[in-house]
Chain A
Amino acid sequence: MRATRGSHHVVLRGRRWNAPTAVRASVARVRAVAVSILLSVLSHSLCVAAAEPSTKPTTNVANATASPPAAPLTRDRRVALGAAIVPGVALHGAGHYTLGHKKTAIALLIGEGVGLALTLGGYATLRASGNSRNLAGPAVAATVFGAGLLLASFGADLYGTLANDGGAVELMPRAPARFESEFGYRYVADPHFNYGHFIVESLTLRQGHFRFTPGAWFATNSTNVRYRVEAAYRFLGLTPGDLGKHDDHVDLVLGGMHQRYVDEHFQRSGLEFTLDTRFDFAHLGATLRGSFIDLALGYGVAKVSYDIAGLTLPADTDDLLLAKVGLGVALRGRAHRGSEARLYYDHRHDDYAGGFLTPGRISGVFGKFGADLRWFFTPRLGVLLDAQVGSAMVGGLSLLLRDGNLSAQGLSP
């Protein structure tokens, strides 16, 4: 029954109090997004400022070697690995320090400090403000990036302590392909929806600093479908045909999405923008070549429309914070350029994986966790393994095909 839905009124006892209005909420959101972007740019600037300048873009990186360690405490990597764990779990960079890579060790320790400050600052802000609508977005973004930096500085210490390069440098530089396509399968295990099997397609075209990527997920056992298109501009980083020593980039990505849940009687259409960055850890020391951190921050807004027979319902406006932290390494051995493995956290809650659920007190806030592996077994052909864990589990495999014209870059395999 909904006879008097529109007629009920709100009365506040005591002095007049203005209920939160759409305008107020919008201002809060814009403010939150502005602060979040500022944080992202700041954290990236800190990373770049800490990096060694790359003045020789055409350096034959295959011949690059680690600068000799200064007075190592040990040359035994097993001892260094132990130090990277204890006391390294508290003092990130301890593994590098024992091997004599003091500059790298200090950089990792600074990374830990910044990460800790962001995490504690973000969490304290959430607690102190009672999860205020004005501060929650920036505080969550700070917490996500802080936790990402904390994990990254610890992980990089382990990586640099263990890795003996093993040809990783030969896998870089990795200028992006002009053309790349993906065709694959995903299984989505979500107890709330009937779908499960999806065909995934996407196409990426790059021209200079621009990228254009349309893509879609089609359920094969239901009517569910998601279309997504991205247009990106690369402010910083390698473009097709470039040579370069490092794999950093800063992209501004504009995205559009439309998703139809026919069986569930709603559809979701959204727009978003993201600042998508990658920082190559090789800036912090030769031992870290082949490892990187991805940071992305943005804002999305969607219209949720309900298609219920006999009812005309207003659409809901739904906005979301986009924040992503990924840690990755370039693959060694029989792998061509662009082959990499990555673990990541993605704060978005609106895709098939949804946000991470726990049996305890805290659910709903987390986004999803994921891992992907891109392995090019020829210069043109590769596979993508993908797994995501949120309120649903997503896993699958795609075939990747890309522009094999890498020899034109002077980087023939």
Chain B
Amino acid sequence: MSHLRSGFLWLSLLLALGCTRPAEERTRRDLDVGHVRSSALDVDVASGLAAVRALSHEKLTLWLSAPSIDLSLVAHEALQLELSIENAMPTVELSDLDAGQTLPVLSGANSTKKSFQLTLTPGTRHLRLAAPGTAEKGRFRFALLSDVQEGIDRIQDVYRVINAQSNLDFLLGAGDLTDEGEDDELAHFQHELATLDVPYYTTLGNHELGERPPPYQQWFGRGNFQFLHRGVYFTLLDSASATIDPLAENWLDTWLANAKASVHIVAMHIPPLDPVGTRNAAFASRGEAAALLAKLAEAAVDLTLYGHIHSYYSFKNAGIPAVISGGGGATPEQADDIGRHFVVFEVDASRGIISTEVVRVDQEH
């Protein structure tokens, strides 16, 4: 029996090393994004679609994760508050939903960074930040850019080409903005974003997990979220740990139900399946990958977008068109003849995905 006893001991030790929910804490932190309490003011951003960067008696700073957000402010005392927003669509307006009026911009008209002056009396104020027309169904263009990592010092080349695109509503990111996800790298990334003419709505990648806990959410908001733009649903998922946490999967069920009758685009960093399976730059479990894809297919998702692989692939998974684009500047996949790039999509809320255009940044390719 000594063999059995020692066997049980060793096998138990091995099982103790296991980690089946590496993204659990990070996913739970999503619930805190956009919600801050202070003695003077409580801030609640609906669905956590903005990160509260700073809050004082004089100023509230938000980093937006979506084209339009609703927020409620509960003032405990009379306040003169500057509302500073970053990563906004340049035409965004601030509406006071209680008074039914649009508030004037204090600074930053036609910029992704702007501010408004608010006079708050004790009580609750409901506000909406949205660009005109974002609530109406229509046709628009957005771009996908992922995997910048060590290419951050050359990112202005990419932003110049993006800025030259006409009629882009926003840039969508599928993670790996930085190399390690440390504060100074995230600050650097934000600094470089200042020249981009459109907002960058993104989730995180595995390269944002170099520090524990990762500070990403304090800077750029939730890893799992959904927003609606011109009648098209966008769902971004945190697959940075090669899995989707079960808590986020529960949220996904609701988001898929929301969008079932609409055009729906789902983005995440690590793809469920790698088109080159022997490489497995994909979910750790092929079973989980197929189960997720079956769920997306059943909910009639129109397009899946991924990063992580530093190249461009266009394929289908569970019959859903899929694009992998990791052309933000990280070490490229060799011999793929593509180099730094981003992908522009034209979408129509009534017709679905109209076109996909790969735009290369480096002329030598």
Contacts and interface: CB of A to CB of B under 8 A. Distances in A.
Nearest to A133: B276
B7 A363 contact: no
Given A33-B278, A308-B297, A5 B20 contact: no
A357 B243 CA distance: 8
A386 to B, nearest CB: 8
A389 B15 contact: yes
A361 interface: yes
A284 to B, nearest CB: 25
B191 interface: no
Interface string A96-121: 00000000000000000000000000
Contact of A192 (B291, B298, B309, B338): B291
Contact of A361 (B20, B209, B286, B309): B209
A349 B19 contact: no
Interface stretch (A8-16, A74-82, A154-162, A215-223): A8-16
Interface in B318-340: 318-321, 331-338
B279 A137 contact: yes
Given A10-B357, A359-B19, A360-B212, A136 B278 contact: yes
Given A1-B302, A366-B284, A314 B352 contact: no
Instruction: Give the size category of B's interface with A.
Output: 35 or more
Contact of A357 (B4, B242, B275, B279): B242
A235 interface: no
A264 B293 CA distance: 10
B241 A357 contact: yes
Contact of A134 (B259, B335, B363): B335
A279 interface: no
Interface residues of A, number: 96
A363 B206 contact: yes
Contacts of B354: 4, 8
A290 to B, nearest CB: 14
A410 interface: no
A137 B278 contact: yes
A209 interface: no
Given A320-B280, A365-B280, A5 B320 contact: yes
Interface string A280-318: 000000000000000000010110101010010110101
B358 A1 contact: no
Interface string A318-345: 1111000000000101110001010100
A130 interface: yes
Interface stretch (B52-60, B64-72, B221-229, B260-268): B260-268
12 contacts: A1-B259, A4-B351, A10-B357, A19-B313, A137-B279, A191-B21, A265-B298, A268-B287, A311-B298, A331-B3, A349-B280, A373-B7
Nearest first, the 3 closest Cβ-Cβ pairs linking A and B are A354-B285, A364-B242, A355-B284
